Structure 1
Amino acid sequence: MADFKLPPLKKAKKGQAPKFSDSGPLTKSMVKQVESYLPIILTRLKAGQDFEKIARDIATHAGVQPDQVAKYVQAVIKTGASA
């Protein structure tokens, strides 16, 4: 999974709206809601699709916020890179 490097979520610059609002830390229930979508997420990333659009699409299906999808994917990448 080291092939999928994503930048960390950044705070918005003054005067700009953030791409994703921060809805807090991931919980076990949020992870369970998103984890079944991981193959779809990785396939779409590998195909070069926009990560923001992927996160928004998956969030709609999983019943979570887009930033939670982004945090989950970043956690998976971090875990994969350290393994």
Structure 2
Amino acid sequence: MSEFKLQPLKKSKKGRGPVFTDTGPLTKRIVKQVESYLPIILARFQAGQDFEKVVREIASHAGVEPDMVAKYVQAVIKAGAPSPLL
């Protein structure tokens, strides 16, 4: 599998989350593209990996924008899905 190259990430200000461009609402199509990556996302978060890095890498593999992956993760957490992060 080829390695994905991403642009360098801009450092966010201390105490602030990553800044992504808002590309619109989370749709059913996007949820279908991202939902299979949820176990990988949660495992990487549990291992202490950086949120922004994980979101950007998963987005490139899923073929969606990074903000959509972030919105999906937020929706899963908000819905109260059992997660080792909580």
Same fold per superposition (TM over 0.5) = yes
State the alpha-carbon separation in 2 of the partners of residues 80 and 49 from structure 1.
Answer: 22
2:10 aligns with none
User: What fraction of aligned residue pairs are identical, expressed as a percent?
Assistant: 77
State how far apart, in whole Å, the 2-side matches of 1:19 and 1:73 are. 15
Partner residue of 2:42?
A: 42
Structure 1 Cα separation of the partners of residues 47 and 21 of structure 2: 26
Tell me which of the two structures has the higher relative contact order, counting C-alpha pairs closer than 8 angstroms and 6 or more residues apart.
Answer: 1
Number of matched pairs: 66
Higher helix share: 1
Alignment of 1:3-82 (within 5 A): 19-80=19-80
Which segments of 5 or more consecutive residues in structure 1 lack a partner in the other structure?
Answer: 1-17
**After TM superposition, which residue ranges in structure 1, 4 or more long, deviate above 6 angstroms?**
none
Aligned residues: CA RMSD: 1.9
Counterpart residue identity of residue 79, structure 1? A
